[in-house]
Structure 1
Amino acid sequence: MKQYQIYILFLLGLSLTACSLSSDDGLLREKINFGDNWFFQKGDSVNVQNWKPIRLPHTANIEPLVVNNQWQGISWYKKEFKIENKNTNRKHFIYFEGVMQETDVWLNGEKLANHKGGYLPFTLDITEAIHGHDYNEILIRVDNQDNSEIPPGKALNDLDFNMYGGIYRNAYYISTNEVYITDAVHANIPNSGGLLVHFNDVSEKVASGIFKTHIQNDSEIEKSIKTVVNFTNSIGDSIMFESREVMLKPKSNQNIEQFITIENPKLWSPESPELYKVSVEIVSGANILDVQTIKTGIRKVEINKDGFFLNGKQRFINGTNRHQEYPYVGYAISDNANYRDAYKIKQAGFDFVRLSHYPHSESFMDACDELGLMVMDCIPGWQYSEPGEFIENSYQNIRDMVRRDRNHPSVIIWENSLNESWMKDPYIPEANKILDEELPYGNIYSAGWADHPSYDLFIPARQHSKAPDYWSQYDKNGRKILIAEYGDWEYYAHNAGFNQKAFKGLKEEERTSRQLRAHGEKRLLQQAFNYQEAFNSNLKGEHTIGHANWLVFDYNRGYSDDIESSGISDIFRIPKFSYYFYQSQKPPFQDSFTGPLVFIANYWQENSTTDVTVFSNCDEVALYLNGEKIEHKKPSRDAFSDELEYPPFVFGISKFEVGKLEAIGFINGKEVAKHTLSTPAEATKIELSYDISGKPLEQGTNDIVFVYAKIVDDEGNLVSNAVKKVQFNIDTDVVEIIGGNPVDSEAGIATILIKVYAKSKGFSIEAKSEGLTSEPLKLMN
């Protein structure tokens, strides 16, 4: 401890950038982003010469694209801040959304906290430790080294994903009056803390349930208080609920529970993700003491003997898995980047996402609510368990996950199970007891990878059973299952069981679903077929209510020295052929994300297959080559597509001809979609674009976006076999290129990641490569 005290004293002589935070009696509740003006360094102990200015979210180490040896160690963060007009009748907190993974915090030399766990939030009450008129300094030690006591617990070099260090999510300064609404995780009380809404009975005519508000009185005076809760829907209609008055003694806390009824509710669903803005006021006499606003949704989830029902309508859950990693920066991605990931998942045709294998960021959860993605929320875990503190920390993970996410309408299933881990008694019964304590209501569903009766839903991976039936014959007293992972592992292990003849002549690397975009047309088509075959097989299970493929985006993992490439999009979020297969499995007029689709899964160049696959959700497709009709047909069904609503179309072309393929989709005889593809000529230029996906680039927020340099011919056709080194240049110093520069193109596209620190009037990006022309890309706020 002495080294920290010495260090604090030494800093008194330093002049450092700091920030001022304002709070006074006229304010009810402040929540201010606490991400600016931090300093950072790595090392077992602090060196006063090594501080570097940074902004949150922040990664402890910029990694290479392929992470062979992820950095692990001790990192340090510090920040000076001043609270203006600090009064004795104010409370002050700092809220951290996520720090990886063991965190020690000092404020003005006093140790305030040790927090274990990298995926869930924690709050510091700094009221007694702050200086009223002077600058305060917070010092944080962050350790992301292997720790078997902290879930997921497994050593990184044996883990199937990476755990990137740093204060990688947002931090906030929060100020309230002394009578205030608590934070649910910080309060640490079962079925309490903060705000809690649950609708017990839901129909299109009426929704009824309870609303709990947990209030803390840290003053010296007894208070007579009540709560006023306003629900406002998307068109501005409001309904108010006012509680009775209660007496709240000094230094005590209490729940105020209200019964709520909303007539003609706007129900949340993937097709219509209606949200209510809920404003909660704490009132004492004529004074408002605190106010807090959240968003939530009203929906009815039910799993019964007939299947899965949402708002009384049966549906098959079609989903995917996601890791929250970006290249280079690991977990340290902006709120907008998290939103863009959710947007891409919707665009791909999914209505569900499993958060493999840990709770994801709050901004991703908000995006799922807003965009209409059902969620399986998961505690940290993967092929590891040990008795003692690890188990106790896992139990706390369940509580903290539920308390953080219980008001999200997107969360339909709680995976309170250590994924693919041997869970010895009494872990499973206790895990479900905890969930029941936190949410003692109907229609709350637990899920585990172990087929244990304590779980409401069995969620095996496809590879946990055997070919050729896998889970299609599963029947245990009508128990329902959701296949939590499929499409990858079984093909890698050569036991698909259904289409072995098609594997004749395929090399091992050509059979697998793990395919980079650089691996080419043949292997990308095989990946798409593997997913199709497994998707089709999963639909045969009488008791299967849904599935989630493995997975949506490529990612790095601790135990392997290559990128795990079974994503339907690569690590830069560029789609592979399999992405369009999934997009084609969504009805064409279901919502605004995916309409009628035709996609030619081919590069149409000299070595391309002449058996041309077209993914489409249309009734019929016509294919043309250089204006001549090849065929106009309905989809062909076989043993690998007989359960699909929209089987692919396969057209046989007698021989390859340079030129243009054109696919036209028809519904009820009417042309509704078109896709054209031309044989690329010589690469001549670069076309620049950047990723928006529902959220324009936001300057001044540490936003990060991908910039793509597409190598094309004179007609704008992608030259997929172009291998070029591309140099990127930016005409401002408020934007940073993260990772390598120059970069090599992959399948005709070179990608960089940029981070925008400060606001500017706009900036331009240029890309240069030998022998290619290009125009700059202008990016504006």
Structure 2
Amino acid sequence: MRSKKLILVFLLLLCLQPAFGQRRQRLITNWEFVRQDLGGVWEAVRPVGAGNPESVPLWERVTLPHCFNAQDAVDPDVNYYQGPGWYRTQLTVQNPYAGGRTLLHFEGAGQKTDVYIHTTKVGSHVGGYDEWAVDVTQAIADFQKTEAYQKQFKGQIPLSIRCDNTRDLEMIPSDLSDFNIYGGLYRYVNLQYQPAVALSQLSAKAEVDRAGKAGTLTVKAVLPETVGSGSAPYSVRLLDPRGKPVAQFKGTLATKPGELDLPKFAVKSPRLWSPDAPQLYTVQVTVGTGPEAYQQSEKVGFRHIEFVEHGPFMLNGKRLLLRGTHRHEDHAGVAAAMTEPMIRQEMVMMKRMGVNFIRLGHYQQSRIVLNLCDSLGITVWEEIPWCRGGLGGPVYQQQAKRMLRNMITQHYNHASIIIWGLGNENDWPGDFPEFDKQKIRAFMTELNDLSHQLDASRYTAIRRCDFCKDIVDVYSPSIWAGWYRGIYTEYKETSRKEFEGVKRFLHVEWGGDSHAGRHSENPDNALAKITAGQGADERSGDASLFGGSARVSKDGDWSETYLCNLVDWHLKEQETMPWLSGAAYWPFKDFSTPVRPDNPVPYMNQKGVVERDFTPKEAYYVFQSYWTPQPMAHIYGHGWPVRWGDEGELKMVKVYSNCEQAELFVNGKSYGSKQRNSQDFPAAGLHWNVPFVAGQNQVKVVARQGKQTVQDEISFRYQTQKWGKPTKLTLEKVADSNGLTTVEAKLYDAQGVQCLDAANWLEFSLAGAGQLLDNLGTSSGSRKVQAYNGRAIIRLQATPGQTSVAVQSPGLPAVVLNL
């Protein structure tokens, strides 16, 4: 175990190594921000923190990364802000290279960005998800000659940045998309110094034959327009995963703008990259000598990929069932502005769930994410944000092509990437009066050709646009068995029919919503209302909670219990589908969306297996029980404080485990051991029907895998009293921890019995000193939320004797609690 932990630490350290050269500094602190437009850049060009009381607008101090919509994306009472915002700071610039260049490197900014040095506009960019850089060398030199540089700014350089996420039909992604189009500097901004001769791009292509014996490394570089003509010595080294040199070359290159072919190396029997052993080689390129030398390192992996026509996915000549999920760039309290530690925590949680594949939806993501996928061993489908709405005009199409080119050239070296995604739900009209399928097909063909031109070694794919499914290499239809359409037992049959209709089939996006903390004794009741054989795709209006035909997404209970059954069935079936290349659950984590205001947590897509703050839901452990090798056992119901039923009634206990056998104990009594069998639904045969006693119960499982033993334990109250309609609310303090107070609201009927299936809307509020921890997009971090099993909690900062918190629900008397 200790060696595995050391390996994980080593892999994480690998991903932190800079992927591009020379000295750089993350610009994190000393920023000011205002969420509105200015009359002009001159209004931003005042010394940071000048403190003039007559200065308007008022700026706030922030750190980067920062998102306009950290709070309002999930505020139940407002539309999220879409418009301009300004950032400003002052730079101390000390380029160590004689004749070198100074750049501002943006890892992503939303969605349109203008950059100013003092009042000089030095660059602009459209597109919120690709990297880009601005050369500020000349602008800084010009400003340093002014009187303001010495007197007003005391030798510092004023930098102002305008970001804008205003709705724009001629820009991708569409505002019809089921995710927020965020604004701000929500990825890192870097100040970067480069010597006079530097590379603007370094491409390293690692290839190996199917047998894994003959490897080749092809290296190409691009010199920028700013480089002067001449020549320079250079070297290329290839280091194996242990850091040992395995190939090297020294020579002289002509320094002129454009692409250069660097040496091609043959590598005999390279160590292969795979999810189980993500072996990474290092390519080191040095141009020049001495202190003016430019150095750049890139990680590459040798692996052979193949999507077999009408068959599975092959990695290094062996079948690999792609076990995947999806990632949105979104998190509680910060929205898109996730820090590197947050991103790392999320990706490690995915790996620990057993993921070996991820689709990055629905846009290019940070190089931090890709580095982690490389080092952790997670294969990737990455796509551009051509998502919903139809097809715009020339400006729209140029942006899509530019983002595709940027995505491929910027992320070309990542061993983890196996698919370039060209679009998502492009059969969804709405942004334009014209919806022409032939024009969409023609543009999809352009993108497909461009992708293959830029990178012939990887596959192209789209999801849900049947009239384009023959254009791309790999196609994923819409299959939501047991949620938007159909019942989950139709999953295999529906998938088989779709598989037979395309050249290469991969199923991305399946699952269902669950309101964290909500559990059910009869989770599959809604399936009785649904007629089988009517298809399992998602159709217009299916995401609505009102109207239309019966469907679980509208008529189900949104419990974690139902989601676990749905996931359990899909995973057991995937083990018996030898033709399946893979599938990816949608998504890993709950995320915010402007098109779902009526969900139990307003403006949240709640299909994640973890909440927006990384709190695992029960479904997380279902995946672990099928996908992970490390022995584990998890009794369903850790967040279910009260179960209910008749006295003496047999109730099901489910244990999700990957161990070969498990023994269950209820209140100290053994109910026997069971053997795991993945095809014995539910819980792979590890389910028991047992009686509970009224009041407190203790349940324990001991699971065995060979000589290893793991165990889990839960306790809960069993309620036998029946309840009626909720007539009363209560509110009490239930915890004080780490400076936060937790309060819990409960719903009772007229006889004082807790209503354990109540799903009433509850709304918390605060008066006096303190602050509610709300607008987090979680079941315990929202001031307006549906009850889960007749209860809901929220946390707050309180001052004893000076804070009052209240809760109200339509039709019931409000309750106030003085803390």
Aligned to 2:249: 242
1:334 is the counterpart of 2:339: yes
Aligned to 1:4: none
For residue 111 of structure 1, report the CA deviation from its aligned partner. 1.9
Aligned to 1:8: none
Aligned to 2:590: 554
Change (3 A) 1:637 1:369: closer
For residue 298 of structure 1, report the CA deviation from its aligned partner. 2.4
Aligned to 1:450: 465
1:569 is the counterpart of 2:593: no
For residue 85 of structure 1, report the CA deviation from its aligned partner. 6.2
Secondary structure (helix, strand or coil) at the match of 1:79 reads strand
Aligned to 1:42: 35
Aligned to 2:449: 433
How far apart, CA to CA, are the structure 1 residues paired with 2:560 and 2:403?
A: 38
Quick one: which of 186, 189, 208 aligns to 1:171? 189
Quick one: which of 396, 399, 407 aligns to 2:413? 407
* Structure 1 letter corresponding to 2:407: M
* Structure 2 letter corresponding to 1:528: C
* Structure 2 letter corresponding to 1:576: K
How far apart, CA to CA, are the structure 2 residues paired with 1:576 and 1:498?
A: 30
**Aligned pairs for 1:251-290 within 5 A:** 252-283=257-288, 289-290=293-294
Contact 1:267–1:299 (CA under 8 A) maintained in structure 2: yes
CA offsets, 1:73-112, max 9 Å, x none? 1101122223236776111111111111011222232222
For residue 483 of structure 1, report the CA deviation from its aligned partner. 0.7
Aligned to 1:717: none
Aligned to 1:100: 110
For residue 651 of structure 1, report the CA deviation from its aligned partner. 0.6
Aligned to 1:485: 509
CA offsets, 1:356-404, max 9 Å, x none? 1111222222222222222110111322222312122111111111112
**Aligned pairs for 1:296-445 within 5 A:** 296-305=300-309, 306-388=311-393, 389-421=395-427, 424-441=440-457, 443-445=458-460
How far apart, CA to CA, are the structure 2 residues paired with 1:33 and 1:614?
A: 46
Contact 2:220–2:259 (CA under 8 A) maintained in structure 1: no
Change (3 A) 1:66 1:400: same
Contact 1:375–1:413 (CA under 8 A) maintained in structure 2: yes
Secondary structure (helix, strand or coil) at the match of 1:631 reads strand
How far apart, CA to CA, are the structure 2 residues paired with 1:495 and 1:681?
A: 31
How far apart, CA to CA, are the structure 1 residues paired with 2:763 and 2:361?
A: 35
Change (3 A) 1:107 1:671: closer
Change (3 A) 1:231 1:80: same
CA offsets, 1:325-383, max 9 Å, x none? 11232101101111111111112222211111111222222222222222110111322
* Structure 2 letter corresponding to 1:295: K
Percentage of pairs with the same residue: 21
Change (3 A) 1:386 1:341: same
* Count of residues in correspondence between the two structures: 670
How far apart, CA to CA, are the structure 2 residues paired with 1:529 and 1:144?
A: 39
1:89 is the counterpart of 2:107: no
For residue 282 of structure 1, report the CA deviation from its aligned partner. 1.0
CA offsets, 1:659-717, max 9 Å, x none? 2111121234x452211112369999648589xxxxxxxxxxxxxxxx99799xxxxxx
CA offsets, 1:254-284, max 9 Å, x none? 4132212334433222222222333221136
Secondary structure (helix, strand or coil) at the match of 1:368 reads helix
Secondary structure (helix, strand or coil) at the match of 1:481 reads coil
Quick one: which of 711, 715, 735 aligns to 1:678? 715
* Structure 2 letter corresponding to 1:546: G
**Ranges in structure 2 where 5+ consecutive residues have no aligned partner:** 1-20, 44-54, 150-155, 429-436, 515-523, 536-544, 720-731, 745-755, 806-819
How far apart, CA to CA, are the structure 2 residues paired with 1:628 and 1:579?
A: 28
Secondary structure (helix, strand or coil) at the match of 1:266 reads coil
Contact 1:726–1:742 (CA under 8 A) maintained in structure 2: no
Change (3 A) 1:259 1:57: same
Normalising by structure 1, what TM-score? 0.76
* Structure 2 letter corresponding to 1:260: F
How far apart, CA to CA, are the structure 2 residues paired with 1:93 and 1:363?
A: 20
1:131 is the counterpart of 2:141: yes
How far apart, CA to CA, are the structure 1 residues paired with 2:217 and 2:30?
A: 44
For residue 315 of structure 1, report the CA deviation from its aligned partner. 1.5
How far apart, CA to CA, are the structure 1 residues paired with 2:397 and 2:688?
A: 55
1:52 is the counterpart of 2:60: yes
Change (3 A) 1:752 1:121: farther
More deviation in 198-207 or 65-74? Answer: 198-207
Secondary structure (helix, strand or coil) at the match of 1:93 reads strand
Aligned to 2:178: 160
How far apart, CA to CA, are the structure 1 residues paired with 2:265 and 2:478?
A: 40
How far apart, CA to CA, are the structure 2 residues paired with 1:396 and 1:142?
A: 19
**Ranges in structure 1 where 5+ consecutive residues have no aligned partner:** 1-27, 183-192, 501-507, 590-594, 691-706, 712-719, 755-764, 772-781
**Aligned pairs for 1:6-85 within 5 A:** 29-46=22-39, 48-49=55-56, 50-64=58-72, 66-68=74-76, 69-84=79-94
Aligned to 1:585: 626
How far apart, CA to CA, are the structure 1 residues paired with 2:400 and 2:796?
A: 35
How far apart, CA to CA, are the structure 1 residues paired with 2:465 and 2:473?
A: 11
* Structure 2 letter corresponding to 1:334: T
Change (3 A) 1:426 1:334: same
Contact 1:210–1:260 (CA under 8 A) maintained in structure 2: yes
Aligned to 1:694: none
Change (3 A) 1:204 1:254: closer
* Structure 2 letter corresponding to 1:198: A
1:121 is the counterpart of 2:131: yes
Contact 2:237–2:245 (CA under 8 A) maintained in structure 1: no
CA offsets, 1:637-657, max 9 Å, x none? 76866xxxx725221013445
How far apart, CA to CA, are the structure 1 residues paired with 2:453 and 2:565?
A: 44
How far apart, CA to CA, are the structure 1 residues paired with 2:792 and 2:215?
A: 50
For residue 541 of structure 1, report the CA deviation from its aligned partner. 5.0
Change (3 A) 1:237 1:599: farther
* Structure 1 letter corresponding to 2:167: D
Secondary structure (helix, strand or coil) at the match of 2:398 reads helix
How far apart, CA to CA, are the structure 1 residues paired with 2:283 and 2:272?
A: 15
Aligned to 2:198: 180
Contact 2:73–2:593 (CA under 8 A) maintained in structure 1: no
Q: CA RMSD in A?
A: 4.3
For residue 144 of structure 1, report the CA deviation from its aligned partner. 0.5
How far apart, CA to CA, are the structure 1 residues paired with 2:376 and 2:95?
A: 41
How far apart, CA to CA, are the structure 2 residues paired with 1:585 and 1:753?
A: 38
Change (3 A) 1:211 1:167: same
How far apart, CA to CA, are the structure 2 residues paired with 1:681 and 1:688?
A: 27
1:663 is the counterpart of 2:701: yes
How far apart, CA to CA, are the structure 1 residues paired with 2:222 and 2:388?
A: 37
Contact 1:161–1:556 (CA under 8 A) maintained in structure 2: yes
